[in-house]
Structure 1
Amino acid sequence: MSVDARGGVATVERGESKGAGPQVSWRPPPMRAVVARCVQVVGLFDAVTSVLPSWHHRMAALAHLMPTAGMVTARAATGVVGLLLVYLGAGLRRGKRRAWQLTTVLCALSVVLHLARATPGPALIAAVLLGVLLVERDRFCARGDQRNRWQALGVCAGFLGAGFVLGFVEVALRARELTDPAGPMRWAEHVALGMIGISGPLHFERAVTTTTVDLTTGAFGLLAFVAGAVVLLRPGTRRARWETGDEPQVRALLDRRGDGDSLGYFALRPDKSFIWAPSRRAAVAYRVVNGVSLASGDPLGIPSAWPEAITAWLADCAAHGWTPAVLACGTAGGTAYRRFGLDAIELGDEAVLDVPGFSLQGRSMRTVRQAVGRVRRAGYACQVVRQRDLDDATLAEARHCAVAYRQGTVERGFSMALSRFGDPADGDCLLVLCRDGDGRLRGLLQFVPWGTDGLSLDLMRGDRTAENGLTELMIVSAVEAAGELGVRRISLNFAVLRSVLARAEQLGAGPVVRIWARLLRAMSGLCQIETLYRANAKYQPDWQPRFLCFPAGRDLPRIAVAALSAEAFLPSGRRRLAEPDPCA
């Protein structure tokens, strides 16, 4: 079946796979990708040929029709048009309507420029490509960000204005070198024509002066149009917002169907939006970052309704030309997304504790057992309580602790963090408050609900001057109190690429795995990759894989940048509304 979403087309095909039931695949129209690649090839050809030596007999043939300066200008403009076509190919592949409009104009301009250069062969190729673009125009309907249009005009006008003023001042300073007297109006005419690559009416005594003025005006004119095109085609975004009724419906889905994914509660972050299935029985939580629609975790709701929600989400991506990606989904969610044509790679593993089977006994738990005993002998004790049961004074103290013990000024997280503390709507969150012998609060943990019988670790704060073993005591205290609270499983931290480190420790590990593990250990100083793995592994958890889903390998760099921006490891590149401190 096909899903049309007001300007975007997602192609969904169903087929039968042996033993797997109906398979679904989503992909952009193949012809669109072919057109985009052809545009890039033609653009690259134009850029290369513009710097190759010209045949003198061709220039001589046009000498009586066009001045030499015009042919040189056409040569330079051809190179610029070629580079812009290469850049526009990426927008065409995503179905951007504005990319199609600019490409159509540039192809028509390319025909004229090639004729001016006496190269009819490339002119014919550009004309054929122009015809293909006109025939296939209905395939490029993705809407752009309306704000980009005005920003592009502002950038273009700014560079044009700066170039005009600078060129005018330069001509005024060199007015004594003019061969013929001229007034300010002629100066302005010369500068304006120079900014579009046409020789003006002024002539200077020295050729180097003429070249300098032409380079100044031409460079600013070229920069203005190139910068305007880049801003116009900049990936669009969507400000995260909840529609009326979204929050209660999401909470209802989590109450009824939240047992499957430990990350489900994190969909309630205020920087996520929701795409709902028509039946409202399932939804995809996502955020748009730099042209990537980044979903996180498994879809919410009833698994049988997931395909409807995923179809709606992909149709929304197609309508806006966004790249779909899913960060940290589980096996069930990854399987559902893969049926829509998204590829999947293992991102890491989530550590999950089985509460009934957890014990501090045994040699494998000796490190944890000793750390807990040492801290308890030092007088530390933990209080395990639901947030709604805390009095105002204790909750305010915990808020202060969460801010004071945070490392850095940025609250990181997107897929596996709530990024707020003490919100009245999160009364079901479980807090572990650890105090020393003097009653001072030295550390805290916050767990969010995971269905009806689980908890998922959200926040971990500790005083670095506290006794060694503080974290172990808080986690063990949470497990010990879990039975009385009806909790049977607790999700701890996420370990990136844990399987690589684990396989490297096994007997007979190959050289590729060991080299890859050494690289991860070298990166651990910046990203704490191995540190998180070791910190989780000592509790002997069950490891559950998490996956990254993406359309194609060429999209991975953009998706990686978007994911790091969403997790606050990189600036988002967009100015956002000021948000209150998550712990205020």
Structure 2
Amino acid sequence: MTGSEGSGPPGDTTDERGDVRSTRGAAPTPDPEARRRRLSEAAVVRAVVWAARIVGALTVVAAVLPAPRRILGGELRSTLGLPAGLGLASLVVTALAGVGLLLLATGLRRRKQRAWWVATATTTFLVVVNLLHVLDQRRGIGPAVLVVALLAALIATRRYFVARQDPGGLGRSVRSLLQFGLSGFLIVWVLLALNPRRLVGDPSIAAQAAHAALSLIGVTGPVQFEQRSVWLDDLTSAIGLTFGVVALVVAGYHLLRSPEPRPSLAPEDEERLRALLDQRDGDSLGYFALRRDKAAVFAHGGKSAVSYRVLAGVALASGDPVGDVGAWPGAIEAFLDICTRYGWSPAVLGCSERGATAWAKAGLDALELGDEAVLETATFSLDGRPMRGVRQTVNRMQRSGHTVEVTRLRDVDEAERTRIAERAHRWRGAEDERGFSMASSRVADPSDPDAVIVTAFRDGEPTGMLQLVPWGRDGLSLDLMIRSADADNGVNELMIAELMAAAKDHGVKRVSLNFAMFRSALERGERIGAGPVARGWARVLRIASRWWQIDSLYRFNAKFRPTWYPRYVLFPAVRDLPRVLFVVLEAEGFGGRPPTLLRLLRR
């Protein structure tokens, strides 16, 4: 009887297809004091963020209304003897300050130090502008009070904005501002110098330079154009403003960009993680915390840890926390604290239902992403009608001369380990390595002596290979499945069947196979009586399977009649979900930022 037949282990449920879907495991209790403090701080920051958004929006609206406020356009300008054009320039800069506050709200939400400094400086400028407006126009006290209140709130909450930025971001920000600003200035200046006949009069070089500089902020300069050359005025204005906006945006990005450390797992952290993995059975994905492109943060006392990688400002953890379940809340709080410290958005990929509950209690939202297929050696069998397809494939492969060898990596000598690694590299070819939450990123590594290597042979020549890593004391988790280009169809089914046949000899009671993304959606779309939405969504997933192995992985796993364990993705809020999913695709090797862009960002 397969693992999908029968009632399943206590605490599991059986779906309509007869597949066992696990719901086991009670979530640990988080530290209420730490969670209360973090949520209280988050509420204060959220209030400041919304205040900045409101002030920014009102500032922009006031600047673009058909009858805008006349800043320095009345008695005060006359008294101080200021030029008339200064009022328009002040209005443009004020509008840009409002837009800046709207953009800075995102940095404030992530509690970034530089975002606080820039927002405070911008708000101070708006306070001055509003006070000048009150003195000049004898009105506008309400907006002035609102801006002053925002400045007071920013100063009062300074201690909450602790997130550090990229150490080299300030230099890159200044460099970008100068490069784009100077480029736009020179292009406009050269255009003016090359077209003297299209200008009114004979403007001096200083006037042309002033015109080029003002074009960067969208203000008309002192140079006048002939009636037939209005297009040149429009062209220089568009070029100047474009370069000015790009300069501000790129400089602001580098200034506020969160640090993205190069991924690496410190040797001492790897030793501590291995000790935690040896103590308890834990999650089937626990061993993948040992990936060398992850970092680890430990709970106070070191009884639990969260491994993660930072991509595009998102700290992406995978699987459940490693170690003592009772210490999970401490590791989760430590992870969230480090995310706050560096302005990263926390996210978790592929955690179990118990892990998702623990993360949800810490304040993250959960979304079911798919299911993990697990085979139980005690119940797995090729007998019976449901397994007829796999059984026929295995028999056909055996009759055609295929054999399979199952061995622990510790029983393989160094020369053979080298051949295994070279073979896997050769079979992969130019294809990018994929996998983050369910891959170790190394093959036949001597640091993984308990890994199991399954090799298929045809007439003595290797044609396929599986690598499985330990899952606690009596389980294995699939790490790598690869075959040669000329391998016969069915070699993967043969290797899995032979692995399950030899599992008891290796002390293995359970084997975790591939993760089937959106399995429930695909299954619902196939049911009799499925509604149009379910069928439509399943069809979209099958179309997407042309590029990503969604439907094919589900069907491959399903043929072994496994127990399905739901897996989840967690994120701070719905607005963060698109960004988190983008990072997930990049981490898993299915897209993301191109290498050229990454090199430019690190320059």
- Structure 1 pair 199–526 and aligned structure 2 pair: CA distance change class (3 A): closer
The answer as to whether partners of 1:75 and 1:113 remain within 8 angstroms in 2 is no
Equivalence for 1:350: 372
Which among 336, 341, 366 is matched to residue 319 of structure 1?
341
**Rounded Cα–Cα distance in structure 2 between residues aligned with 1:443 and 1:44:** 61
The answer as to whether partners of 2:164 and 2:342 remain within 8 angstroms in 1 is yes
- Structure 1 pair 55–292 and aligned structure 2 pair: CA distance change class (3 A): closer
Identity, % of aligned pairs? 43
Question: Which is worse superposed, 462-471 or 206-215?
Answer: 206-215
**Rounded Cα–Cα distance in structure 1 between residues aligned with 2:540 and 2:148:** 51
The answer as to whether partners of 1:84 and 1:226 remain within 8 angstroms in 2 is no
Equivalence for 1:11: none
Q: Which letter does structure 2 place at the counterpart of 1:457?
A: L
**Rounded Cα–Cα distance in structure 1 between residues aligned with 2:248 and 2:70:** 32
**Rounded Cα–Cα distance in structure 2 between residues aligned with 1:418 and 1:179:** 70
**Rounded Cα–Cα distance in structure 2 between residues aligned with 1:414 and 1:22:** 27
The answer as to whether partners of 1:85 and 1:103 remain within 8 angstroms in 2 is yes
Q: Which letter does structure 2 place at the counterpart of 1:98?
A: R
- Structure 1 pair 370–550 and aligned structure 2 pair: CA distance change class (3 A): same
Equivalence for 2:557: 536
Equivalence for 1:34: 47
Residue 253 of structure 1, CA deviation: 1.3
SS in 2 for 1:242: coil
The answer as to whether partners of 2:464 and 2:482 remain within 8 angstroms in 1 is yes
- Structure 1 pair 112–398 and aligned structure 2 pair: CA distance change class (3 A): same
Residues 285-327 of structure 1 show CA distances to partners (whole Å, capped at 9, x for unaligned) of: 0111111111111111111221221111111111112111111
- Establish whether residue 256 from structure 1 lines up as the match of residue 279 from structure 2: yes
Question: Which is worse superposed, 369-378 or 498-507?
Answer: 498-507
Equivalence for 1:453: 474
- The equivalences for 1:319-398 within 5 A come to 319-398=341-420
- Establish whether residue 504 from structure 1 lines up as the match of residue 525 from structure 2: yes
Residues 46-66 of structure 1 show CA distances to partners (whole Å, capped at 9, x for unaligned) of: 334433312699997468565
- Structure 1 pair 22–286 and aligned structure 2 pair: CA distance change class (3 A): closer
Equivalence for 1:110: 126
Gaps of 5+ in 2: 1-26
The answer as to whether partners of 1:277 and 1:305 remain within 8 angstroms in 2 is yes
Residue 473 of structure 1, CA deviation: 0.5
The answer as to whether partners of 2:63 and 2:94 remain within 8 angstroms in 1 is yes
Residue 546 of structure 1, CA deviation: 1.0
Which among 418, 430, 449 is matched to residue 427 of structure 1?
449
Which among 304, 308, 313 is matched to residue 326 of structure 2?
304
Equivalence for 1:70: 86
SS in 1 for 2:476: strand
Residue 349 of structure 1, CA deviation: 0.8
Q: Which letter does structure 2 place at the counterpart of 1:406?
A: R
The answer as to whether partners of 2:28 and 2:358 remain within 8 angstroms in 1 is no
SS in 1 for 2:566: strand
Residue 101 of structure 1, CA deviation: 1.4
Q: Which letter does structure 2 place at the counterpart of 1:86?
A: L
Residue 167 of structure 1, CA deviation: 3.1
Equivalence for 2:6: none
**Rounded Cα–Cα distance in structure 1 between residues aligned with 2:579 and 2:290:** 25
Which among 506, 511, 515 is matched to residue 536 of structure 2?
515
Equivalence for 1:160: 181
The answer as to whether partners of 2:88 and 2:219 remain within 8 angstroms in 1 is no
Residues 115-171 of structure 1 show CA distances to partners (whole Å, capped at 9, x for unaligned) of: 569673544433332232223222222211112111111111111221232233233
- The equivalences for 1:126-275 within 5 A come to 126-175=147-196, 184=205, 187-188=208-209, 191-192=212-213, 195=216, 208=230, 213=236, 216-257=239-280, 259-275=281-297
SS in 1 for 2:102: helix
**Rounded Cα–Cα distance in structure 2 between residues aligned with 1:339 and 1:44:** 34
Per the normalisation by structure 2, the TM-score is 0.85
- The equivalences for 1:262-301 within 5 A come to 262-301=284-323
- Structure 1 pair 213–498 and aligned structure 2 pair: CA distance change class (3 A): closer
Residues 188-215 of structure 1 show CA distances to partners (whole Å, capped at 9, x for unaligned) of: 4554455466766656666845665555
**Rounded Cα–Cα distance in structure 2 between residues aligned with 1:57 and 1:247:** 64
Which among 376, 394, 414 is matched to residue 436 of structure 2?
414
Please give the root-mean-square deviation of Cα atoms over the aligned residues, in Å.
2.9
Residue 529 of structure 1, CA deviation: 1.3
The answer as to whether partners of 2:544 and 2:550 remain within 8 angstroms in 1 is yes
**Rounded Cα–Cα distance in structure 1 between residues aligned with 2:243 and 2:29:** 59
**Rounded Cα–Cα distance in structure 2 between residues aligned with 1:170 and 1:462:** 61
Question: Which is worse superposed, 221-230 or 559-568?
Answer: 221-230
**Rounded Cα–Cα distance in structure 2 between residues aligned with 1:513 and 1:177:** 65
Residue 104 of structure 1, CA deviation: 1.8
- Structure 1 pair 240–58 and aligned structure 2 pair: CA distance change class (3 A): closer
Equivalence for 1:87: 103
- Structure 1 pair 390–80 and aligned structure 2 pair: CA distance change class (3 A): same
Residue 485 of structure 1, CA deviation: 0.6
Residue 186 of structure 1, CA deviation: 5.9
The answer as to whether partners of 2:373 and 2:562 remain within 8 angstroms in 1 is yes
Residues 497-534 of structure 1 show CA distances to partners (whole Å, capped at 9, x for unaligned) of: 21222233344444433333232222222222111111
**Rounded Cα–Cα distance in structure 1 between residues aligned with 2:225 and 2:489:** 79
Gaps of 5+ in 1: 1-18, 578-584
**Rounded Cα–Cα distance in structure 2 between residues aligned with 1:488 and 1:244:** 31
Q: Which letter does structure 2 place at the counterpart of 1:273?
A: A
Residue 177 of structure 1, CA deviation: 5.9
**Rounded Cα–Cα distance in structure 2 between residues aligned with 1:157 and 1:359:** 69
Q: Which letter does structure 2 place at the counterpart of 1:294?
A: L
SS in 1 for 2:447: helix
